[in-house]
Amino acid sequence: MTSEMRVRLLVLLGVIGVVLAASWGRSGQETTEAVSDSAATDQSAVGSSFDYVQPIPQSLALDAGKVALGRKLFFDAILSADNTIACSSCHSLSKGGADSRVHSIGINGAEGSINTPTVFNSGFNFVQFWDGRAATLEDQVDGPLNHPKEMGSNWKQVTDKLRANVDYRADFARLYHNKLTPENVKDAIATFERSLITPNAPFDKFLRGNSAAITARARHGYELFKSYGCISCHQGVNLGGNMYQKMGIMGDYFQARGHLAESDLGRYNVTHQEDDRYAFKVPGLRNVALTPPYFHDGSASTLPDAVRVMAQYQLGRSVPEADMSDMVEFLYSLTGESPKAAHD
């Protein structure tokens, strides 16, 4: 099979991925969970759910009390063993929902082993973490809280500390019939995280019919994004986050980079299936201009670097400088409004 045929196959698989993503959304995944009527209207303005991409809803119907409680927990280092690390330590709401580091720093100065993904729009992802080991945002909370290099805590320690706090006891008693439990802590944090959407990017306005919302170069960049085959993996509301893909389809990325680490095995670490070796959840591209460095290993420091690597190892192509510039212009148009809940 020639390289061109393989790229065409990838595009076809991407179309299938869009259909599957829409199906997962209708069956109860977080992508369409509790979307308000106004958001549904926005979706209908750009066609069916089988379109390649859709704009971010302008609002979600979420419990305001739980969002507020989850926000308080998100910023509280009480969740960590030594009261020094909060969710916001690695997911800064002023840095695009990430932390601008190759690897985040946890308790006692411990360095993580994988690049921290953004928390913005994470409710639209079909699974959480690069390797997809958490099915939901609620499940995701367990990971950092218990990890010895992140928060280094456990649920007994966390709930004991929260119950000793009169304000937290009152909050949970008001919002949850069974009061303060690990499940309710996770529910509150996940509800807040779902609220961290970034609507009204220039590209969203373009999708809703305003052709002048993005520059001519960005429009050309979007056409190139589709014609090169990038959209075979980056589609849906998040322009990604709805499928797995192997890192290095058209070339051995890891051999070229060297120094193979356990985190490079990706989905294989979860399933131990050979087909999942080097496979990762495709990251969403929303607000990507705000969240360098890129990839699970943080090896690309700029957007042009990231586009070149993706073109070479995922599509088997090189990108002329003019095309690169326009595609990066398109990627900048994906920066949306800062989440409202971040400023409450």
> Which residues are the active-site residues?
150
What stretches of the chain show up as alpha helix (H) in DSSP? 3-26, 37-44, 64-74, 87-90, 137-146, 155-163, 166-175, 182-194, 202-207, 216-228, 253-257, 268-271, 303-310, 321-332
Cα(222)–Cα(326) distance, integer angstroms: 8
Residue partners of 122: CB distance under 8 A and separation at least 6: 97, 128, 137, 193, 194, 196, 241
Q: Distance of CA 199 to CAs 78, 202, 220, 249, 339, Å?
A: 31, 9, 22, 32, 8
